[in-house]
Structure 1
Amino acid sequence: MPSQPLKILVIGGSAAGPKAAAKARRMDEHASITLIQKEADLSMASCGYPYYIGGFFDDRNQLICTPAGIVRDPDFFEKAKRIEALVQTEALSIDRDAKTVTCRHLPSGETKTLPYDRLVIATGASPLYPPVPGSDLEGIRTLHSLGDADALRAVRDAGKVTKAVVVGGGLIGFEVCEALHLAGIQTTVIEKTASILPFLDPDLAKLVENHVRSKEADIITHNGVAAFLGENGKLSGVKLDNGTELPCELAVIAVGVRPNIELAREAGLTIGAKGGIAVNDQMQTSDPDIYAAGDCVECRSLITGEMLRAPFGDIANLQGRVIGRNLIEPGSASFPGIIHTGICKIFDFTVGFTGLSEAAARAAGFDIETATVSGLDIPGYMQGKLLISKMIADRKSGRVLGFQCIGPGDGSKRIATVAMAIRGNLTVDDLSNADLPYAPPYSLALDHVIVSAHVLENKLLGHMKGVSVTEVKQRVDSGSNCFILDTRSPQEFEEMRLGIGETLIPLGAIRGRLDELPADKDREIILYCKISLRGYEGAAILQAHGWTQVKVMEGGIMAWPYPREK
């Protein structure tokens, strides 16, 4: 045992801070470890807040429990981990020369100064608010703290609110939307940009939008909040940028977060260009004895190399673990960066993403190819469910750059598979021959990820020319002279069709009905079916018979986000 135990001080008790403290304790039984937490609760499972609000479970302590069901309160930290946890205590300042932190106990107002040998800043982030009139009205909430979750759960349980708006069409916004919908509250999501879920490309985002609307929740895009309206200090509605007024008794703001960097900035630590605390791969700040992690820091994209902020709980835990090791054995661990992976449940849809979207890849300067695929997650005879995916790759190297997956099927393992492929710099060819597990309860013989890679490989090799559903819609709306061919069966055609001037020739009949196709073999022909597998096979037939501008509508009817005929 050393004569002078290492003094470790951790500011922030949500995710990264407790993880760093716990890892350091496991590596050094004798270190003095103190955790400073401004809130009353510790180590909160914040991603579970919407499900608590929605009534998936009722005991809020489950959000602050260990897997064994023990509440992670100061007593737990003291007895189980020998970590002193000072809750309801705010860190006021850092004196880097004296290596001390001054803090204040909020209920009593008492201040004290704590020494450190090594310091961790895990101060998280604060929710952004639209800078509009009426923001101080009663009835306007965020969902950032456990206190926020408690307040929204109380609204649900009281059953008095009938109409709500959610400001912000990102992950949190739609999780809140579903939670309020489950409470019987008529909910409208307001998104300032043209498309919801900015990590998805518009074609897939539109399909999610359609799904949300099918659940009788509303979405308004291309419109921000101009003002909150109130009566007697209470929220009564919102006014949109276009002048529309929506009545509501509750508004939940979910437009993003701002990193809490004031403490670090006042201490003279370097702040990055993206507004977060600058750290190296060991999660050290510009002061080698001060580390930082979580929502308050910047980290590096492993795809583009640029610095960005990634306010995700899983990333905070990974970074906290790296810090915990380096607190005891400096330089022993590193956090190389992120590829930006996420997933959420939006009503009956899984919505997942990893890496770059098409828009982000193009903005980063990549020359890319994409493939959109529709299909089942497991065989139909096992009650398989639909997935619609989009894979993005670098055209020259074939390196996989991104993947989006939505639908009622199991998209989680598909996102995880491609996330590791991106992390390992794998190519489309690598995924085309991936040895993935197969059994009918879990997968098709060729998993959805492999099929996505096959379609993308066909495009990269020139075996298939694809066209997106949006491009097809644009051609139709502009009066293009393209010939649109539906290769499904007559029964399928009668049950539902797109109504875009298509001609029905079932795949099995194409070879005998070539005379019904355009005589001009340079005229653009677009084929599709339910998922466009038959469309692809039909395209191969037409190409073999001399048509030169044959294309497949990727994803087929299942990827079509526009109105259809029934």
Structure 2
Amino acid sequence: MSHHVLIIGAVALGPKAASRFKRLDPDSTVTMIDKDTRISYGGCGIPYYVSGDVSDSSELTATSYHMTRDTAFFRDVKGVEVKTGVEALAIDRAAKTVHVKDLATGREEDLSYDKLVIATGAWPRRLPVPGNELPGVHLVANLDNAESIRAAVTAGGVERAVVIGAGFIGLEMAEALADMWDVETTVIEAAPRILPRNVSPALSDMALAHIREKGVTVHLAETVQAIEGDGKVERIVTNKRVIETDLVVMAVGVVPNSDLAARAGLAVSPRGGILVDEGLRTSDPDIFAGGDCVEITNLITGKPFFLPMGSMANRQGRVIGTNLAGGRDVFKGAVGSYAVKLFEKAVSGAGLTLEDALREGLDATSALVVQLDRAHFYPGKELMTLELVVERGSRRVLGIQGLCAAGDALVGRIGAVAAMMPFSPTVDDVSNLEYPYSPPFASAMDVINTVGNAADNILAGRNLGIPPESFAPLWEEGTCYFLDCREASDAAPLLERFPGKWHNIPQGHLARHLDEVPRDQPVVLVCNTGARSYESFITLAHDGRSNVQNILGGMAALRALGIDPK
């Protein structure tokens, strides 16, 4: 039996649900409403429009076959009626109506529905500080925001910019301003590191070193107290300094836009996300919800979490469209995979960081490796850093994160593990993962297998690896014996700089020179990437040494962190 579906929100999930439903049930009617005038755009492309990589904002509303996704497109191509500039004010679940207001005319009316979809997305947070709405202070929420930022920059009046927040959007916007437009850009982050909830301290510091190398100033563990200016933004006042600026981008996270659902009596979590089941139904079986306004299940912890991503909204939209037509599709949850481009490097990950895992009460550890992303003899190779988070005992994989200049290669490895994670893979599954091999694309023993093997060795006690950020305090402490396991020519510069403190026995010679390594002093092993120092660890452990530690990732990781022995 045909029926009428009403959808509130027409950016990501709404259009996907509408189109899927109409394909399955062409005789039914669908109406989408959105308070904005532009719909169905790629919001995650906003930083790349600001940067100029995407030349015109219309490209974000175009299909792959160059049609504009506007009201006429949905009417003529998809059979869906769209009302733009219309705000939903209230849901009457008993009458099955939504009270709406036309923002242009002020006219209000009730729209009826048989089934309702809430796709209201999320609101960008605005810091509650004086001056937060001065002209020149921008949020990153929609195409209007993007166009106003780019217009300000291209007009030539922006020489200095401040980005508040060092999450994905904040860092992407910082790159857009600094790289393409050569704007003097400063990032302020309240947490002690960038990407604070996404990567380990080591990977965060590697990404930070690269960003600073590209000319972006980053202030960590710093809070904004006021935004000041005479008629427009002129300066930021933090708890540590005053920063002169011509433009501010506020990228301090988003919150689910669930007020409409809450007022209608639908179940909403304490954090504000609409609660849905695996079929993406709310507490009212005739109302579905998805996208950035809902909470979903974390498939690693089994707990609810908030994951605002366009890719998630599109997948959920298809599930909702199927179920509106009487199907039984489910959306079980997510492991939280992501990727972000930062100038010439990419950061990607899925699942839990080690800090997340420990906070969840899991007995976890991690393995970090640095290895070439393809065969060592093939041109164009890049060093890739991967960190695998695993649970002791069960050997379950809890998360993976990485950094590499070859972003596609990195995302391929992360994506392979992310696809396994809903099925509780173990370290052995990663060690034996069948990653497609050819010298231009991978190594015969690929880096993804290597990080699994490294985790296996750590769990078995065959390698006492310590993260590269531990090097500096050990070096400054001065009580350890630092043994460089590389060949003499590689070790020579540090031997000359630190006679008596830096030592060298190439890994292949170590078994014949064990007496040169003190037994009454902690030994720290270093090589180029951690492979030869691991071999040296095995040699020393076989000799009965128990006071030996291996720097994971070796000198490559130290250089990426900007650590230089002094």
TM-score by length of 2: 0.96
Aligned match of 1:90: 87
Distance 1:267 1:499, change over 3 A: farther
Alignment pair present for 1:111 and 2:95: no
Secondary structure of the 1:234 match is: coil
Aligned-partner Cα distance in 2 for 1:66–1:359: 40
Secondary structure of the 1:411 match is: helix
Aligned match of 2:75: 78
Aligned match of 2:360: 364
Paired amino acid for 2:447? H
Aligned partners of 2:494 and 2:502 also within 8 Å? no
Aligned match of 1:424: 423
Q: Structure 1 unaligned runs (5+)?
A: none
Query: Which range moved further: 209-218 or 466-475?
Result: 466-475
Q: Within 5 Å, give how 1:239-318 maps onto structure 2.
A: 239-242=237-240, 244-318=241-315
Alignment pair present for 1:506 and 2:506: yes
Aligned-partner Cα distance in 2 for 1:429–1:205: 27
Question: How many residue pairs are counted as aligned between the two chains?
Answer: 557
Aligned partners of 1:239 and 1:245 also within 8 Å? yes
Aligned-partner Cα distance in 2 for 1:498–1:196: 35
Q: Structure 2 unaligned runs (5+)?
A: none
TM-superposed deviation, 1:546? 2.8
Distance 1:427 1:196, change over 3 A: same
* Cα deviation 1:167-218 (Å, max 9, x = unaligned): 0010000000000012110101100011110211111101100000000111
TM-superposed deviation, 1:540? 1.6
Aligned partners of 1:497 and 1:565 also within 8 Å? no
Distance 1:72 1:499, change over 3 A: farther
TM-superposed deviation, 1:497? 8.3
Q: Within 5 Å, give how 1:457-476 maps onto structure 2.
A: 457-476=456-475
Aligned-partner Cα distance in 1 for 2:422–2:470: 31
Aligned partners of 2:519 and 2:545 also within 8 Å? no
Paired amino acid for 1:510? L
Paired amino acid for 1:255? V
TM-superposed deviation, 1:79? 0.6
Aligned match of 1:489: 487
Aligned match of 1:222: 221
Aligned-partner Cα distance in 1 for 2:495–2:424: 41
TM-superposed deviation, 1:384? 0.6
Aligned partners of 2:468 and 2:551 also within 8 Å? yes
Paired amino acid for 1:336? K
Of 3, 10, 19 in structure 2, the residue corresponding to residue 6 of structure 1 is: 3
Distance 1:497 1:316, change over 3 A: farther
Aligned-partner Cα distance in 2 for 1:398–1:497: 40
Aligned-partner Cα distance in 2 for 1:536–1:255: 41
Aligned partners of 1:35 and 1:84 also within 8 Å? yes
Paired amino acid for 2:329? A
Aligned-partner Cα distance in 1 for 2:391–2:541: 26
Secondary structure of the 2:455 match is: helix
Alignment pair present for 1:15 and 2:18: no
TM-superposed deviation, 1:130? 1.1
Alignment pair present for 1:165 and 2:165: no
Aligned-partner Cα distance in 1 for 2:6–2:494: 64
Secondary structure of the 1:209 match is: helix
Paired amino acid for 2:358? R
Provide the identity percentage. Answer: 37
Aligned match of 2:148: 151
Aligned-partner Cα distance in 1 for 2:281–2:347: 34
Q: Structure 1 segments of 4 or more deviating over 6 A?
A: 496-500
Secondary structure of the 1:336 match is: coil
TM-superposed deviation, 1:510? 2.1
Of 60, 64, 70 in structure 2, the residue corresponding to residue 63 of structure 1 is: 60
Secondary structure of the 2:365 match is: strand
TM-superposed deviation, 1:86? 0.7
Paired amino acid for 1:114? L
* Cα deviation 1:484-533 (Å, max 9, x = unaligned): 1111223323456897843122223323332321043xx42121111011
* Cα deviation 1:209-259 (Å, max 9, x = unaligned): 00000001110000011110112x1100101112x1000000000000111
Of 123, 135, 138 in structure 2, the residue corresponding to residue 138 of structure 1 is: 135
Aligned partners of 1:342 and 1:353 also within 8 Å? yes
Aligned partners of 2:4 and 2:114 also within 8 Å? yes
Aligned match of 1:188: 186
Aligned match of 1:354: 350
Secondary structure of the 1:235 match is: coil
Aligned-partner Cα distance in 1 for 2:495–2:446: 28
Alignment pair present for 1:530 and 2:528: yes
Alignment pair present for 1:446 and 2:445: yes
Paired amino acid for 2:192? A
* Cα deviation 1:147-183 (Å, max 9, x = unaligned): 1111112123222200000000100000000000121
Paired amino acid for 1:550? V
Aligned match of 1:382: 379
TM-superposed deviation, 1:565? 5.1
Aligned-partner Cα distance in 1 for 2:433–2:522: 34
Aligned partners of 2:472 and 2:563 also within 8 Å? no
Aligned-partner Cα distance in 2 for 1:508–1:461: 24
Aligned partners of 1:488 and 1:505 also within 8 Å? yes
* Cα deviation 1:317-366 (Å, max 9, x = unaligned): 11111111111115x11111111111110001110010000000000111
* Cα deviation 1:460-480 (Å, max 9, x = unaligned): 12221111122332333334x
Aligned match of 1:210: 209
Paired amino acid for 2:564? R
* Cα deviation 1:30-76 (Å, max 9, x = unaligned): 11100001111111101111111101121211101111110000000
Secondary structure of the 2:21 match is: helix
Distance 1:253 1:191, change over 3 A: same
Secondary structure of the 1:430 match is: helix
Aligned-partner Cα distance in 2 for 1:110–1:457: 66
* Cα deviation 1:233-291 (Å, max 9, x = unaligned): 1100101112x100000000000011111111111111112211111111111111001
Aligned-partner Cα distance in 2 for 1:497–1:373: 25
TM-score by length of 1: 0.96
Secondary structure of the 1:178 match is: helix
Aligned partners of 2:119 and 2:290 also within 8 Å? yes
